[in-house]
Structures are given as structure tokens and as C-alpha cells.
Amino acid sequence: AQKVTQAQTEISVVEKEDVTLDCVYETRDTTYYLFWYKQPPSGELVFLIRRNSFDEQNEISGRYSWNFQKSTSSFNFTITASQVVDSAVYFCALSSDNAGNMLTFGGGTRLMVKP
């Protein structure tokens, strides 16, 4: 069985602060994929990143960075110099070949960035 846990249900920061969103996953599969999605108030989820289980290199894209650590089954997401437009609910998700590529989502973390 697959499981994704986002322990932080809500985080509030002031603009320009850095913030890290935690994600811990469980799977018995050796090949799997991890995702982050952003859900702004409008409701549609927006894809941010996909990583496969064989690539543990950290990735940076502008103010966003991701830290994948297989040893702790974590895939954390950091926003540097947060902005008000970053306010949204962020979901971590997991998919594996043995699950038919079905995405299992975590419960989400609501990020509020105050001006």
C-alpha cells in the first residue's frame, strides 16, 4: 500500500521568508515517482515537479527547490523569499509502476504568505 503524509496542515509566513513543506512517503516498490502540485484558490491543481526514485539529485527552479532523500523517504519542497502569490495548498503525491501509475496524494499543506 502506498501512503503520503504531509504533517504540516497549515503554515503561515511573512513575505520574503523561506519556507519548507515536508513530505514523507511509504511504498514497497523500488521504482516510483514523486510529485508536487499547487492548488491556488481557483481550485485547479498545477503540476510543479516529478522525480523518479533513481534520481536523488536536488533540483532548483527559480525560487523553488526540492530535496529528495530516499534514506528518510522524504521529498521536501522549499520556497525561497516567499511571495503573497505563493499562497495556496500544496500537495505531495506518489505513483509507482505496480500501482498502475495511479497518483496517491497527501493531505496537503496550506501555505499563507502575509505581506
Q: How far is the CB of 32 from another protein (least distance, A)?
A: 9
- Grid cell at residue 115: 505581506
**Of 21, 3, 92, whose CA–CA distance to 51 is shortest?**
92
Query: Where are the alpha helices (H) located in the chain, listed in sequence order?
Result: none
Site string for another protein, 10-49 (x = CB under 8 A): -----------------------x-x-x----xxxxxx--
- Interface residue with another protein among 61, 71, 101, 115 (CB under 8 A) is 101
**Of 95, 91, 87, whose CA–CA distance to 106 is shortest?**
91
61 binds another protein, rule: CB under 8 A: no
76 binds another protein, rule: CB under 8 A: no
- Grid cell at residue 85: 502569490
88 binds another protein, rule: CB under 8 A: no
